[in-house]
Structure 1
Amino acid sequence: MSSSIAGKWYLILGMQMMWHVSLLYAQSAFTGTVKDAQTHLALYPATVQNRTAGVYALTNPDGSFAVVARPGDTIWIAFLGYETDTLVMTQNIAHHPVEIDLKPMTHSLQPVVVHGGLNPYQMDSIQRMQLFGAYLSRARQPLAGTYTPSGFGIVLSPFTYFSHKQRNLRKFRRMFEAYERAEREKYYQNLKLQLLADKYNPQRIMEITGLRGDSLQAFLHTMQPDTSFLLQAPQDAVDMYIRQQYQKFLHQKKSNR
Structure 2
Amino acid sequence: MKAFIRSIFLVGIFCMTFAKLAVAQVTLTGVISDSNKLVLPYASIINLNSGKRASSDQGGFYKILGDRNDRIVITFVGYLPDTVIINQASGTQTTNVIMKPEGRFLKQVEVTSQLTPYQQDSLARREWYGYLLDLPNKPLAGGNTPQGAGIVFSPITRFSKGERQKRQFKENYEKMEKEKFIDSRFTPLLVSRVTGLNGDSLQLFMRDNYPDYNTMRALQNNELLYWITDKYKAWLKK
More helix per residue: 1 or 2?
Answer: 1
Return the index of the structure with the highest Cα Rg. Answer: 1
Fold-level similarity (TM above 0.5): no
Q: TM-score range by the shorter chain?
A: 0.3 to 0.5
What is the TM-score normalised by the length of structure 1?
Answer: 0.40
